[in-house]
Amino acid sequence: MGRLDGQVALVTGGASGLGRAIVDRFVAEGARVAVLDRSKERLGQLKTDHQGAVLACLGDVRSLADNMSAVEQCCGAFGSLDCAIGNAGVWDYSTPLVDLPEDRIDAAFDEVFHINVKGYLLLAKAAAPALVRSEGSLIFTISNAGFYPSGGGPLYTASKHAVVGLVRELAYELAPFVRVNGVAPGGIDTDLRGPAALGMDNRSIATLKLGEAAHLFVPIGRLPTAQEYSGAYVMFASRVDGAPATGSVLNYDGGLGVRGFAQTSAGGKLKARFAK
């Protein structure tokens, strides 16, 4: 028997990368899963791979209407909703403040925060009534950048810090009926893209080949796989294993927070760069 037998979940950004791994694991654990994603092709592949267990919902997480439609379709197809997972996101490729183009800061900020933060808020808004009825749970994908610097630039890092606050506030507001938790993965070879406002929407984090240098910055000596990260979501979604957890964020990052001292700061070359 799976730990999620009989449960129904909704995953945003679930058609590729970490989201796809979460969907695969939830189905393996006995859940039926609705997926909200922008890729029609990848959604079609999900349906083919998981006949009858996955519902494809085409849409944009920045739209409240699309989130509400996904919840409605999920409840209509599967009868209820037990767990909603906010996972869709974009990364800023660690673009530092001084390199953000002045004419694109507004658009880049809006895009990163609308996807990484508002997308989660809208999912929670759309799913809350169904989750209260089922006494279910919300789970948000955060990042090591939700706690430490250098996991992204200021746009990404600030957005992930904001999600930590969102977890805590919603855990308070929705208790005692809905548990709200977060998973903060570390580096991963996935298909995470960047904001279109910075011309990074066709750039995948997988091209950085982080795994080749993981032994230099990850205490466990390698990058965990997307499949290995997925177990944390099962734990939080489980009505047995996750029962005591709400307002919690799991640092699930290969030990990034326990690294020893290395570079003290990143601004050593700024004096020369901005010298008149």
**Partners of 219 in beta bridges:** none
Q: Is 120 a catalytic residue?
A: no
Give the tens place of pLDDT for each residue, 141-153.
999 999 999 899 9
Give the tens place of pLDDT for each residue, 53-73.
999 999 999 999 999 999 999
Residue type, 169: E
Cα–Cα distance, 160 to 85 (Å, whole number): 15
Give the tens place of pLDDT for each residue, 119-138.
999 999 999 999 999 999 99
- How deeply is 28 buried, as exposed, middle or buried, from its count of CB atoms within 10 A (0-12, 13-18, 19+)? middle
Q: In Å, how far are 52, 107, 123 from 70, measured between CA atoms?
A: 16, 27, 9
Are the beta carbons of 162 and 205 closer than 8 angstroms? Answer: no
Identified catalytic residue from 156, 229, 233, 252: 156
Give the tens place of pLDDT for each residue, 34-52.
999 999 999 999 999 999 9
List CB contacts of 130: < 8 A, sequence separation 6 or more: 71, 74, 75, 80, 81, 136
End-to-end alpha carbon distance in the chain: 68
SS (H, E, C) 170-213: HHHHHCCCCEEEEEEECCCCCCCECCHHHCCCCCEHHHHCHHHH
Are the beta carbons of 87 and 191 closer than 8 angstroms? Answer: no
pLDDT at 265 over 80: no
Mean pLDDT of 88-101: 94
Q: Regarding beta strands 137-141 and 249-252, do their DSSP bridges make them parallel or antiparallel, or are they unpaired?
A: unpaired
Mean pLDDT of 247-263: 83
